[in-house]
Chains A and B, each alone.
Chain A
């Protein structure tokens, strides 16, 4: 058999795993699949209703439904990438008999699946937006794309760390999952930082995810901006998670394969 380049092998493996994961997602029960695509719409609907009930219809010239759609898509993707990563090693244990499958490939494949699903959700939202004549004008599309990419990178770093952490301590994944559910309230998902009282702004800004969300909607809506975003803070969290995750992964890779 002719020798393949490492990059070729990596591409082939990631593609094979991606197709496999997608296959499993779309064949293993309709309820799960339905919920995957229905959940973001529910979230948007519920929070729009809450807002209308509490604050009435009067609005501060921001399209709240679009605001929620954007933020929930990004936040869900973040959360799903992390929970998918944390279970990736165990779910794919049997595949490590093929020596070209490295544990980290299973994480990367799962991340691509989450990105793919988020992409579908975005397309659905855009179509709904067009149909109901929402204003779909974006302040800076490249910056919004960059925000999504930053979130994916942060999620990958975080997810890798959780995945290797799981090897030390079984319940880390579960703890992180619960933490992330609470994190939704403190991450500028259904509000922008400029909408909250000044006293709690600084506490919310300690949470790195807040910065990512602020970057996202600050560059999407003309009425918002990214003045609260500390890009260095974002990079610091991402890189230190990535660094720590990679070190631990390198140490544990062989153990994960042969387990």
Chain B
């Protein structure tokens, strides 16, 4: 179970605090693929980063006994002057993988990400799409209870998108997904339920299509202030 206990998170702005979550308590149902929806700046990525323990609530706590992936976004978490391969090896070592496992993962990632020669080139020479492919391929090599995905599915060309969606669908037979996306179609395909973030409040909808409806209603309203 993922439990939010009185979680408050805000960012200070010039005109006062901008609340992402305002004293939110909530139990997320287990074994359930959840979409996080909301306007730009509503705090979708922040919520995801908090679940990944790399961002922290101002008050309250988030409890969970699950393992989470690092937030899979566009190319965060790589070191520019190291090669793709070196970065992959580094992450494997972080997770305490043995030499043989590292070898296997590296060749899997190389194949999946279709980087070819670039796999042995420094990351700074990559395009953002290539980074995304590397990041996504790498995450598939690990078994997390939850994959935190921040818009990465829109990486690469149509063919690669299709391939990564298939890989993800296979992956979520064992693990669950928390997905931030604006793409309603993807959300519908992958997620069972949805969370709407709006002005410091968190609304959970058990049925993802309800969540999408609610999201679209919010989207039609004019922005407040």
Contacts and interface: CB of A to CB of B under 8 A. Distances in A.
Report the interface size class on chain B. 20 to 34
- Secondary structure class of chain B's binding surface, majority of residues: loop
A257 B54 contact: yes
Interface string A1-42: 101100011001101100110011000100000000000000
A94 B68 CA distance: 18
Contacts of A19: 90, 93
B93 A16 contact: yes
Nearest to B79: A94
Interface stretch (B21-29, B138-146, B183-191): B138-146
B78 A96 contact: no
B142 A95 contact: no
A61 interface: no
B32 interface: no
Contacts of B49: 258
Interface in B66-85: 67-68, 70-71, 76-79, 81-82
B169 interface: no
A16 B90 contact: yes
A23 B93 contact: no
Interface stretch (A71-79, A98-106, A126-134, A157-165): A98-106
Interface string A182-225: 00000000000000000000000000000000000000000000
Contacts of A8: 96
A191 to B, nearest CB: 41
B143 to A, nearest CB: 5
A4 B142 CA distance: 14
Given A23-B86, A254-B56, A258-B56, A100 B94 contact: yes
Interface of A: 1, 3-4, 8-9, 12-13, 15-16, 19-20, 23-24, 28, 94-101, 254, 257-258
19 contacts: A1-B143, A4-B96, A13-B94, A20-B82, A23-B86, A24-B81, A24-B82, A94-B77, A94-B78, A95-B77, A97-B52, A98-B77, A99-B52, A99-B53, A99-B70, A100-B94, A101-B94, A257-B54, A258-B56
